[in-house]
Structure 1
């Protein structure tokens, strides 16, 4: 079984409900060293999905380069369109990707990918869209920019007002539809599984028959009450282990985990107001990885390394 540990490496201020064009900073990136044990103790590389604001900061970028050189990390791309140039006025932020003019979205992607290549010396080949906003336009554009693997799908979660990815296949990576003559992009969804598989489709079908407010509530709560996942911020330790067991039993071969870099800096996420809370998160990840390595053969890989493994 393969394990991907992906980090959204991004600016602060993202859990405030505001989407500023001038974010407060990227000091949180220095706290990524709390995850050095992932490679030092287990040999698992991280995939660092990096925003434009981080790529503009010398100290933050230097740290990512060290993690790549010393611990085998991959530096990928993470688009926050609300503060990635060009900063056009296309409506109140955050504007959904499918509501944005295609030429502006393409220009923002070009800014992000050019800045990452200039800063880190090689093009990014893995990607995650901010706010899980992987709409049709993003899917159309990614091959154009040389992306091999996307990790923007969170199965069984509902993004209000966003694309409906609730029924995204929640097992192993798969190939997205072809776009022109470009190589097909591999989709690597987060590992989140229905405890009873039939309930996901039944819930989605039932919810679509309900008025909007009820539909939104049903879909938004499903992942908390009827699913298990290996996401350490969203699920307790028992659920993380349960999800890994279910995945293996159902024939899955790839586990995909994620968290935000700012969740490692005390006070920059509602779930982690102090150092004690951050320390608990780090120990939770360490214990899960220890259990995972003892429960069966596991190999750590980066996102781009999954591309050749997709069916």
Structure 2
């Protein structure tokens, strides 16, 4: 059912979906949640986080620059406030080697007018005026620190709300990448993206249109795309059931990320997405994974070595499939050929 325009959770009209032209190949985009270090198992807190992973951004940027990939660093409030991050990322952006966007963690972003809680960790659950005030604070901090106005936004924890699109358009954002297709966060007070498209789509609001570029997740296994509803029914009570489905080869959910997804499965997901002619294969990971000990995915130097080896394998596979790196600017140019209907 098509819901009113201006809502990320509305089913897009066919005219609002962005499709590849007959002679176009899919492209890939590297989006990095560039954020503070904190204990993912602990309650949310406004203080007590670390920033020791910031210097590792330099190694990350050198790696992608050598691979001729221009990632977009979606920076949040503590990162923007860190001079080292501004020096590293500002220099790379000045060289044309990366892009910078915004990522909003509401619990560490002023104004601090809400209780810190799991529910309020999703920006879209906050009162509209408070959401908007936090967006403005982060947007303006990026403007002042990086001498540029961000136009790409990601809600921390993928926490969009029903009015987010209109606020983004009002505040000058032109692209959102908060939707994580194939995931359901309702158990933690978050959004439900199970039925979100893989293709980018235009979200129309009275303040203008925002392009949604979802983080890519595909479904493989014996059931193929038909297995997606099976996965959601069986795995709704936890990830172990989903893992069992994958082990049996019935259906598996594969996100394009080095965090928890083996390289061979990511390559399989690339093949599926290419066959589906998904215009933008949107990869993502969290910047604290660039330093051992911050996330469940990189606990040791050996894990970090494997993290970069993962990218070696995946980038090589993308090259073999003829999928080239892209940027936010290029994605917007591609989408502009099919303006919102």
Q: Distance in 1 between matches of 2:59 and 2:50?
A: 19
State the partner residue of 1:122.
148
State the partner residue of 2:82.
57
Give the one of 272, 275, 298 matched to 2:301: 275
> 1:91-240 residue pairs with structure 2 within 5 A?
92-95=117-120, 96-159=122-185, 160=187, 161-170=189-198, 172-176=199-203, 178-182=204-208, 184-195=209-220, 196-201=224-229, 203-204=231-232, 206=233, 215-217=236-238, 221=242, 225=246, 226-240=252-266
Secondary structure of 2:137's counterpart equals helix
Following superposition, the deviation at residue 94 of structure 1 comes to: 4.9
Secondary structure of 2:95's counterpart equals helix
Aligned-pair Cα RMSD in Å: 2.3
Flag the 1:276–1:71 CA change in 2: closer, same or farther, 3 A.
farther
Are residue 245 (structure 1) and residue 263 (structure 2) matched? no
Contact 2:43-2:117 at 8 Å conserved across structures: no
Q: TM-score, normalized by length of structure 2?
A: 0.81
Greater shift in the superposed pair: 159-168 or 30-39: 30-39
Following superposition, the deviation at residue 256 of structure 1 comes to: 0.7
State the partner residue of 2:70.
45
Q: Distance in 2 between matches of 1:36 and 1:117?
A: 21
Q: Distance in 1 between matches of 2:184 and 2:243?
A: 9
Secondary structure of 1:65's counterpart equals helix
Q: TM-score, normalized by length of structure 1?
A: 0.89
- Counting matched residue pairs gives 300
Following superposition, the deviation at residue 157 of structure 1 comes to: 1.7
Contact 1:174-1:187 at 8 Å conserved across structures: yes
Following superposition, the deviation at residue 8 of structure 1 comes to: 0.6
Provide Cα deviations, 1:33-92, integer angstroms capped at 9, x if missing partner: 332354433211010000011111111111111221235200100000001000113463
Q: Distance in 1 between matches of 2:54 and 2:218?
A: 30
Q: Distance in 2 between matches of 1:53 and 1:91?
A: 16
Structure with the higher fraction of residues in helix conformation: 1
Secondary structure of 2:264's counterpart equals helix
Listed as ranges, the gaps of 5+ residues in structure 1 are: 208-213
Secondary structure of 1:29's counterpart equals coil
Secondary structure of 1:6's counterpart equals strand
Flag the 1:215–1:42 CA change in 2: closer, same or farther, 3 A.
closer
Which runs of at least 4 in structure 1 moved beyond 6 Å after TM superposition? Answer: none
Give the one of 255, 258, 271 matched to 2:281: 255
Listed as ranges, the gaps of 5+ residues in structure 2 are: 1-25, 247-251
Q: Distance in 2 between matches of 1:257 and 1:4?
A: 6
